[in-house]
Amino acid sequence: MKTITSTVMLASLFAVSANTSAATLDEVVGKGHVQCGVSQGLPGFSNFDDKGNWSGVDVDICRAIAAAIFNDSEAVKYTPLSSKERFTALQSGEIDVLSRNTTWTATRDTALGLNFAGVNYYDGQGFMVRKDLGVNSALELDGAAICTQTGTTTELNVADYFRSNDMAYTVVAYEKSDEVVAAYDSGRCDVYTTDQSGLYAQRIKLKDVSAHKVLPEVISKEPLGPVVRQGDDQWFNLVKWSLYCMINAEEMGITSQNIKSKMNGKDPAVKRLLGEEGAFGENLGVSPTWCGNIVAQVGNYGESFARHLSVDPLNISRGVNELWSKGGIQYAPPIR
């Protein structure tokens, strides 16, 4: 079975790589939807309900892009991808954009033919353990067995951390996140490690949520953001500015609720954002109201965060993902 997937992967690399530098935007407009690569189910980021609807902050990026292009945030088709499949899917042209808690690293940016279009969640890697283990710090984990997922930065960070702290460990790496959770839950490992956001999200899948705790240490920088193929600057710009639109809108206090009342106002910055002044939509290759459409249909960055992450059962606080003007590091270049 694996060999078949690999062959198909290889074949599609050969075949599709022929036309991937064609303008992605034209292709997307042609087929009428954005093909968006997401996770196979990570609550709060990209997750589907029993009706098959996708939601989460990563999904909102896909919807924002669709709103900018089609004035229809529902014009998205989703491709669920495991950590190890995601880059090949993007390189081969199977998806137009990857919005799936993916860490921006030097290798991925420079050697994989990819471009990171910004950061929609600043994260860091953490550890989760059973409370009855009596561990209070990651530095007490010498000799532990650690469950994680293949093809992630996590796999490398954990090696670095234990090596630099002179601690022994065994890493058990699964292909799918559900198997990591199941294995950790059935006692295969002492520790479950991934991005902290992932820990909070996956924790709700455990049998007894209250029996586990996340350790205080954050051992890495994990800036997560949407990714596109290298070599198509128009598409790169559109994805990048769809994200920046949401952040700028929050900063200016424009929400999906109050956007109507903000129209035809006096503030020139707001006018530019809503497309009442300037040619920003034209320069991006979409309609002048692109950003207004995003905010009206998807909401601003803060709304998206609040809707998916700051609610039960995740209850993730804004932390560093607060706007720069409020003590965080989320910062978007101005629309002007």
Partner 1 sequence: MAKEESAGPPEVTTKPWNDPKVRSIFFQVVLLILVVLAGMYIFGNTADNLERQGIATGFSFFGTTAGFGIITHLIEYNEASSYGRAFAVGLLNTLLVAFCGIIAATILGVVIGISRLSKNWMVSRMAMVYIETFRNIPLLLQIFFWYFAVLRALPQPKNSVNFLDSIFINSRGIYMPSAIYEDGFSLVLWALGIAVVAVVVMTRWAHKRQDQTGQQFHTIYYSIALLIGLPLLAFTVTGFPLSWEIPALKGFNFAGGTVIIPEFVALWLSLSIYTASFIAEIVRAGIQAVSHGQTEAAHALGIKAGPTLQLVILPQALRVIIPPLSSQFLNLTKNSSLATAIAYPELVSVFTGTVLNQTGQAVEIISVTMAVYLSISLGISAMMNWYNAKMALVER
Cα–Cα distance measured from residue 205 to residue 200, given in angstroms and rounded to the nearest whole number: 10
User: Any contact of residue 276 with partner 1 (CB under 8 A)?
Assistant: no
Phi first, then psi, for residue 300 (nearest 5°) are -85, 175
Cα–Cα distance measured from residue 300 to residue 179, given in angstroms and rounded to the nearest whole number: 34
3-state secondary structure of 103: strand
User: Any contact of residue 195 with ligand GSH (CB under 6 A)?
Assistant: yes
Cα–Cα distance measured from residue 137 to residue 128, given in angstroms and rounded to the nearest whole number: 10
The listed partner (partner 1, ligand GSH, none) that binds 18, CB under 5 to 8 Å by sort, is partner 1
- How does DSSP classify residue 330? B
Query: How many residues make contact with partner 1 (CB under 8 A)?
Result: 59
Cα–Cα distance measured from residue 248 to residue 256, given in angstroms and rounded to the nearest whole number: 13
Instruction: Please report, as a single letter, which amino acid is at residue 92.
Output: S
User: Any contact of residue 102 with ligand GSH (CB under 6 A)?
Assistant: yes
Look up residue 180 and give its two tokens: 């990591």
Q: DSSP characters for 257-289?
A: TTHHHHTT-S-HHHHHHTTSSSSHHHHHTS-TT
Q: Which stretch binds partner 1 (CB under 8 A): 29-37, 148-156, 235-243, 325-333?
A: 148-156
Identify the residue among 166, 186, 208, 266 touching partner 1 (CB under 8 A).
Answer: 186
Identify the residue among 29, 145, 218, 263 touching partner 1 (CB under 8 A).
Answer: 145
Identify the residue among 74, 142, 233, 282 touching partner 1 (CB under 8 A).
Answer: 142
Identify the residue among 40, 71, 79, 230 touching partner 1 (CB under 8 A).
Answer: 230
* Of residues 83 and 300, the one with the C-beta less far from partner 1: 83
The answer to whether 189 and 148 have CB atoms below 8 angstroms apart is no
Binding site for partner 1 (CB under 8 A): 1-3, 6-7, 9-10, 13-14, 17-18, 20-21, 83-84, 87-88, 91, 107-108, 110-113, 133, 141-145, 150-152, 155-156, 158-160, 162-163, 168-176, 179, 182-183, 186-188, 190, 229-231
Binding site for ligand GSH (CB under 6 A): 39-42, 82-83, 101-103, 149, 152-154, 176-177, 194-195, 198, 202, 222, 224
